[in-house]
Amino acid sequence: MVRWSSLFNADGHDRRHRVQDEFRSLLPTRRDQLPAPPISAKEVTIVALRLKHQIEQVVPCELEEERITKPHSPILTDAVVETARQAGGEEHKACVVYCLLVVKKWFKRQALCELWDADLHEVRAVAAEMMAKRIIEGEEDQNYLLGEVLLKRYSILVNGEPSVPANAIERAVDLHALTVIGSSGYQKCISYLWRGWLVQDDDDPSRFVDYGNKTNTDYWSHLDPDRMRVPQYQNAVQVAMSVIYLGLYTGAINTINPLGDLDVVEAMLYVFTVGFVCDEISKFWKVGRYYIGFWNVFNSTLYAMLATSFILRMTALGNAVDSEGRAKFNTLSYNFLAFTAPMFWMRLLLYLDTFRFFGAMLVVLKVMMRESLIFFALLVVVLIGFLQAFVGMDLTDNSLQHSDFVIKAMLNAIMQSPEFEGFENYAPPFGLILYYIFTFVVMVILLNILIALYNSAYEDITENAIDEYMALFSQKTMQFVRAPDENVFIAPFNLLEMFFLILPFEWWMPQARYDRLNDIVMGVIYSPLLVITAFLETREAHKVKSNRRRGEEDDDVVQEWEQVLTECDFEADGWDKKVQQSKPNVEFDTAVLEVRKLQGEVGELKELLLEMRERGGWGSETLKESKLGEDTLGESSDSVGREE
């Protein structure tokens, strides 16, 4: 069996660790006792400062972002990128991409602190990200790129102390650097991590190495419980457990027990719920408050309602069989249970984000929810103001008599169903006029602002849907890889780990024997999946060996247009020569190319004139005219260059 070193402390449990350098982190992690980075934090910081100075000189003033991001940028030339690549020298060149992402974060923060130069710093942040992408895509050594540039962890100095070690993969996800995430090398690295082809080293968890059995075609060597740490296998188990969880809920809600007794299906539903709740608490303990997000709040609400249903069911069981209290609490329990049905089905979307369609739509929904905060902030202020006015009108006789009516009418107006009846006699004419104003503000102004925000968010995401999906997929992969458990027990199997392994054995059993026990338990639990994954990995091993024999990448797939490509020789039949003669030069504009061509011809003409003058064949007047023509051509060339 493969043994993985713990990413946490020696006893297998992780402790809290304060995030030191994250300005806005999507996937922060609290981990102690990580191995020291291969390069000192001071050296990495110096490299980052060199790159920051370079970008400030390359982008000295506010420029259009398109000039930075277009393929053949006149700003980020090959010379500029090569200079950036040399910022760390030969010894520290592997940390340049990581440092560029750090510089991007610095410029982003500077844009928030210096609003008068926000656009300039935003363009510089884009330049740092584009340079990182071009360095990644320009690296030909894939092993060096994956192992040293993208996956090796580095630290910088923050307040005189080294920050939490992180690699370029993690940093790009944290900063939502879509340009870097969309690069080919980055996506290849994510694909290898997702498949389990890159795993953490047993002796040094900060290093990632190739999976040893990637080319092993022996079936039994892949039948290993440790392979459950592979992200795609964990995701498959989570999807399966979610479908089973939904099936248990469907069975429970469709088999009502009038007497209030708990049947097997409903009991299993609550057992699954306890497992998911324990999993959420464990992740919150490991990650901290940064773990709280939309889906966490959504799941917590679902689990809270299920817990309420269970408590009401237990209360009903505490009453006599034919009593009124038992029927009342039993009915209330089923009402809470039925109320959660939409949330159960929506919960599936959380585990279907690996599919491109669902992933892109989830990104749209997340952005829309974030944009909704602006609407709700305005709405709360408006609601409080108008509600205070209505309450003040109702308090003229020192008693609140119509507060329920007013609140209901205001909520109906928000839902675009205003009720004007009843306001004629509510402090006339002020009550009706005030409600008209409230309806206009909410329905005409605020709701249209919300629609505009939703439309803007939808357009921004759909225009960049592919990169957004890749960023979501990368984030999901890093959730499995960034701080993996030493022993993978996916909810609700975590209950077995808690009550049958940790509590009775971990505190006294030797570590080697305890690890062996965990492997046996995981092998039994995941045996149906391991049988399938071993077969799939064996088949993949044959493909990898075939690709290596052909000298291709491990994940290469022969497409239909490549099947006969080996029989073609475009250089021998002259086709390549014709293509090279007719292909356009897309790096420069046509006018620039023509002027450069004309400059070359004028230079040749000048040399010819000077040679003829030495022989005495031309007079001074002719030379003056040729010099004047050359100066005129130079001015026109400079004009074209400025326009370009």
Token pair belonging to 74 = 């006149």
pLDDT for the residue 483: 62
Q: Which long-range contacts does 372-381 make (Cβ < 8 Å, 24+ apart)?
A: 372/450, 372/453, 374/449, 374/453, 375/446, 375/449, 375/450, 375/453, 378/446, 378/449, 379/414, 379/442, 379/446
H helix or E strand, kind and range, residue 43: helix 41-58
Tell me how many degrees the CA angle 525-526-527 measures, rounded to the nearest 5: 95
Token pair belonging to 210 = 């190739």
86 three-state secondary structure: coil
pLDDT for the residue 609: 86
Q: How far is CA 492 from CA 201, 264, 537, 587, in A?
A: 28, 16, 26, 57
Whole-angstrom Cα Rg for the chain = 33
- Hunting for tokens 């799939």 — which residue is that? 536
H helix or E strand, kind and range, residue 346: helix 341-347
- Hunting for tokens 């968010």 — which residue is that? 457
H helix intervals, 196-323: 231-253, 264-287, 294-317
Concatenated DSSP letters of 201-228: -SS-TT-EEE-TTTT---GGGG--GGGG
pLDDT for the residue 634: 56
Give me the residues of the chain with pLDDT under 50, please. Answer: 1-33, 623, 640-644
Domain boundaries, the chain: 41-210, 255-351, 356-477, 590-643
Query: First vs last Cα of the chain: how many Å apart?
Result: 62
What is the C-alpha separation between 199 and 193, in angstroms, rounded? 7
pLDDT for the residue 284: 82
Per the CB < 8 A criterion, the answer to whether 522 and 228 are in contact is yes
158 three-state secondary structure: strand
Question: Does the global pTM surpass 0.85?
Answer: no
H helix or E strand, kind and range, residue 552: none
495 three-state secondary structure: helix
Per the CB < 8 A criterion, the answer to whether 143 and 94 are in contact is no
pLDDT for the residue 290: 66
- Hunting for tokens 């560029």 — which residue is that? 100
pLDDT for the residue 605: 87
| pLDDT tens digits along 10-49 | 333 333 333 333 433 444 444 444 555 678 899 999 999 9
What is the C-alpha separation between 199 and 562, in angstroms, rounded? 31
pLDDT for the residue 46: 94
| pLDDT tens digits along 95-144 | 999 999 999 999 999 999 999 999 999 999 999 999 999 999 998 888 89
Helix axes 96-113, 118-138, angle to 10 degrees: 170
Q: Are strands 161-162 and 157-158 parallel, antiparallel or unpaired?
A: antiparallel
Which of 130, 44, 123, 150 has its CA nearest to residue 87? 44
Concatenated DSSP letters of 389-450: HHHHHHGGGTS--SHHHHHHHHHHHHTT----TT-TTSTTTHHHHHHHHHHHIIIIIIHHHH
